[in-house]
Structures are given as C-alpha cells and as structure tokens.
Structure 1
Amino acid sequence: MSEESPVSAWARSHFGQDAEVVRRGLVEGLHHAQQRAVLIQEMSGLPSKQPYGGMWPATYKSLEEQLVGLEGAYKFRPPNASYNLMVVQERLLLPFKLADNLNVPVKQARLATKIGRNLSLALSAAQPPDDLLSLLGEDFEFDPVAVVNELVHLSPATKIIYVPYVAHADAGLLKSWWGEGLMQSDGTIAWLVGQPEELPAAKGATSEGSTGAFSGLAEVSGSGRAFDEGDLPALDFPTHSRPVAAPTAEREPGSGKPTANNGNA
C-alpha cells in the first residue's frame, strides 16, 4: 500500500483517537527493525542468512521504542520470553513473520512459536464472539484454558491484535497487516470478517522494500587501503594451499515452507 489510507472504524474502535498514532508506530517499528536486520546481513558479507535471522528480537524492541510513550501503553513480558510485547489500551500487539515473499496469502498466516501460541490460548479463555466461531466450521470445539499466573496483571478485557508481516533479508519489509482473529489448533489464524487490514508503507520506503541507508550510520568512501597507503607487507609464515573446510558446528537454516516468525527477523 503506497498511499496513506484513512484509519478505519475498526482501528478507532480499539485505539480511539490514538488509532493513527498506533498504526504509524507499528509501521515505522517494523520498517526500522528490518532496516537494521538487512544492514547487519550486508555488513556480514556472509552467503548464509544467519546474521539477518539473528536480528529477530529487533522487531519487538523497535515496536517498544515507537509505542512505549503513548497513553495507556506499557511493556509486557510473555512467560518464558526474552523480549517484550506492547499493550496499548488493553490491546496486546503480537507481530510475527508470515513469510519472506509475497506469494503466501495473509489468510494463511500461522503462529509458529510456542510463546505466541500459548499467549493466544491464554487470552482466548473467554468465549470468543460468534462471528469468529462461525469461521471455524461445525467440527471446531472451543476449549477455554486457565490463564497462567504470569498473565494475571493483564486486564481481563485484553485482546490480541495480530500483526503479520512479510520481509526478506535482501529487501527488508515488503508488506504488513493488523487484525483480529482466533487461533486454530495448528496455529493458523481464523480472521474476523473483513480482517486483517493492510498497513500503509513506512515513510521513505519504496515499493521494492524498506532497504536504504540506515540513519545513524555514515557512508564511508575510499579504497580502504591500509599501512598508510603503502604496499601490504609479505607474510613471514608458511601458507597452505589446501582448502579450509567449513565449520560444521552451525547449520544454515533450510529453505523450507515459510512460516510465521520462523526465527528470521
């Protein structure tokens, strides 16, 4: 979505007069997190995407930086998590990666992490609305679960707003959405009718993605020659012509079917 669209009635029903600010905070937070991840990948010079994948916590930190100052906003640490999620006006914002390309429909969005799934179950302890249950078919049976002690301080009225996004290690953030839904047994989100809504593009982002020079880092020019622009000294120790075997301690992530928040940033 290249142009800023008006804030919907659905968004205002959840966030009131702050709906536009919350939406913009989500967009900018996701955008900046992906900029950082892409930059780290480029600076690493590695063929694998491990540097990019290791930046996944940046998404949560970036959203925290964007939203923590809003009225009615606070940080929430999910059970067993190493990161914070943001709650704004009793709406817990749960970002997760849908895929690394635009070929995966958002209607197939699926939570892949145990933390995300457990959180969805815990906050669904109350009977969901009929319009959500109707999406799941006659065979679906809703089984309320007990809210764990770590969630006691959340308001009983707290609802999850899911924020799926598509991002790639070379292109950054490609597209994002937000909306309400009910998680099914396999982690797939059954969206409320008319959901999710596509989020607008971040300011300065192109249609190809969110890549570009990241603010705060200066661009360095020059040949980069060392030793006061002189010739490099000859090595005074023996060299070996045999190839060096790649380390086997870590495996490069496979290129299987894209899943939500599958360890990539």
Structure 2
Amino acid sequence: MRMSQWAHDTFGQRVPLIRQGVAEALSVALENALDAQKVAQTDHLHPFGFTLMSRKFEALAEAFEDLGDVRVVKPGGSQHELVLLDGKLLFPFRYAKDRSISVMSARIGDGRPSALVQALFNRFGPEPRMRQLALHDVAPHAVPVAEALGDLPEDTRLVLIAYACNAHAGLLDAWWGEAELLDRTGSLRWHHCEEIPLAQESAAPARSEGEAAAFDEGVPPAPALNPRRGAARLVAPVSEQLPFGPEAASGA
C-alpha cells in the first residue's frame, strides 16, 4: 500500500512499520475479546465488550513498547493508557459493528463524548475549519481535564484509529487520520482519513480516501496472531460513560 503525504508527514519513513503495528494490535485485542466471550459461556456480549475496551489500549502499548520514542501516558480521569509515539497521541475507537456505516460518518461513542475525549480533541486535534465555541462554553466540565493534560507537549497531535468489528465477523476494517469533534453527539469532521491494511489483506487493491467497504465484499476472517510481542514483531513489508469507547456499554 502506497504511503500518503499525510502518513509521511506524520510518521516519516516508519509508516509501514507503525501501520503494521496498529493492525496487529487491533487483531490481538479482538482475539482476546473473542477468547473472553468464549470462556464466559454466555449469550450476552458484555465479556467481549469489556475486554475489547481495555485491550485495544494495552495492545497498542505492547506493540510499540520497544521503540525508543514511545511514551505511554495515562491522562487524569482515564482508566486506560494512551500511546504517545513521536509526538502523536494514538486514540483507538470502534466506529461501527458492521459495514452499514461509513467511516466518514463515524462518531466517538454512542452518546455524549466524555470530558476527557472533548479535552483531547480541543487541545490536540486539528484546527477547526469552522468557528466553534470555546471548550468552557461547550463543556465546562472538560476544562479541568484539559488543564490536567498540561504535561503533554503543546505540539502533540491526536491521531485517530477508527475500526469496525463485532464478535461474530471479527475485525472488518480499520482507518487512521485526523478529525475535529463537531458537537456533543460525537460527530466528526475528518481532515484526513485513510485505510489501514489488515493482516489478512495482501494484494487487495487500496480503497480511496473515505470509501467504505461494500456489503458484497464478504467478511474477512480474523487475522492470525503473531506470537512475538512488542516492536520485535514489527518488520517492514518486503515491497466510555466510558472514558474512550462505547464497547463495554453496548456489548458487540
């Protein structure tokens, strides 16, 4: 998959390495969630949701733990740690349970975004393309959280990792890019969004920016896990109200 200008500007020559690490981390988190659901032996999907909610953050940290410029941070008010990679704060969230929703219509959560999420967008998201209300006007409760993020560098950039999955079909697709938070419902305006090739996708043609997968493309199998941990497994290709996400609250 070719390297876009945005990806190069964001991660430099390490784009294939980091892109692969993100895809593998999502696969690991999903596989762990499926295992938890199987062990629980229940028709309710809470084990899947709660496990995915936590493991998506942990698996990202594990994927990049051996890289020298990685810092794992735990913002005040959060139960989870985020990966700060070369000044880019990686933020994974599930935007859909199936392919009926385009990533361009993605929302952060099923309800009002948490104070922490709003503060992250306000402080580290891209400059809004339209004038917005100040953070204290839109979400007064988020102001103390924003102040608690003061130990992060001012030039930190928020990189979103949006993925679709469910407990039956597995990981359907994944995207990354930058977006602004539009309103209290979690609606986004993407400034850039591009697909992350999954582990099982080899010679499949790349989709254009913003193009969602079609229903007739079939459901890909869950990617096989890599037994190695951390950056050692990342090799360049030969060519929530929950603090962050709705998974636990909404099941699968």
TM, length-normalised to structure 2: 0.73
Q: Which moved more, 1:195-204 or 1:145-154?
A: 145-154
Deviation at 1:109, TM superposition (A): 1.1
For residue 14 of structure 1, what is the aligned residue in structure 2?
Answer: 10
Separation in structure 1 between the aligned mates of residue 226 and residue 64 of structure 2, nearest angstrom: 19
The counterpart of 1:143, out of the listed 134, 139, 144, is: 134
Instruction: Give a deviation string over 1:207-259, Cα, whole Å, max 9, x none.
Output: 6345377677xxxxxxxxxxxxxxxxxxxxxxxxxxxxxxxxxxxxxxxxxxx
The one-letter code of the counterpart of 1:169 is A
The one-letter code of the counterpart of 1:141 is Q
Separation in structure 1 between the aligned mates of residue 92 and residue 224 of structure 2, nearest angstrom: 24
For residue 139 of structure 2, what is the aligned residue in structure 1?
Answer: none
Structure ID, larger Rg? 1
Instruction: Give a deviation string over 1:65-123, Cα, whole Å, max 9, x none.
Output: 00122232110112211110101111101100101111011111111241323322233
1:104 aligns with 2:101: yes
Moved runs in structure 1, 4+ residues, more than 4 A?
Answer: 144-147, 212-216
For residue 222 of structure 2, what is the aligned residue in structure 1?
Answer: 211
For residue 224 of structure 1, what is the aligned residue in structure 2?
Answer: none
Deviation at 1:42, TM superposition (A): 2.2
For residue 165 of structure 2, what is the aligned residue in structure 1?
Answer: 167
For residue 179 of structure 1, what is the aligned residue in structure 2?
Answer: 177
Instruction: Judge conservation of contact 1:166–1:174 (CA < 8 Å) in 2.
Output: yes
Instruction: Give a deviation string over 1:139-181, Cα, whole Å, max 9, x none.
Output: x434256673421221110010111110101122111100011
Separation in structure 2 between the aligned mates of residue 209 and residue 50 of structure 1, nearest angstrom: 23
For residue 22 of structure 2, what is the aligned residue in structure 1?
Answer: 26
Separation in structure 2 between the aligned mates of residue 214 and residue 22 of structure 1, nearest angstrom: 17
The counterpart of 2:55, out of the listed 35, 53, 58, is: 58
Q: Which structure dedicates a bigger proportion of its chain to helix? A: 2
Unpaired runs of at least 5, structure 1: 217-259
Q: CA RMSD in A?
A: 2.7
The counterpart of 2:81, out of the listed 76, 81, 84, is: 84
Deviation at 1:7, TM superposition (A): 2.3
For residue 123 of structure 2, what is the aligned residue in structure 1?
Answer: 122
TM, length-normalised to structure 1: 0.70
SS of 2:95's partner is strand
Separation in structure 1 between the aligned mates of residue 201 and residue 28 of structure 2, nearest angstrom: 11
Separation in structure 2 between the aligned mates of residue 213 and residue 16 of structure 1, nearest angstrom: 28
Unpaired runs of at least 5, structure 2: 137-142, 203-217, 228-244
Residues 44 and 21 (structure 1), Cα distance of their counterparts in 2 relative to 1, 3 Å cut: same
The one-letter code of the counterpart of 1:42 is K
Q: Percent identity?
A: 25
Count residues in correspondence.
207
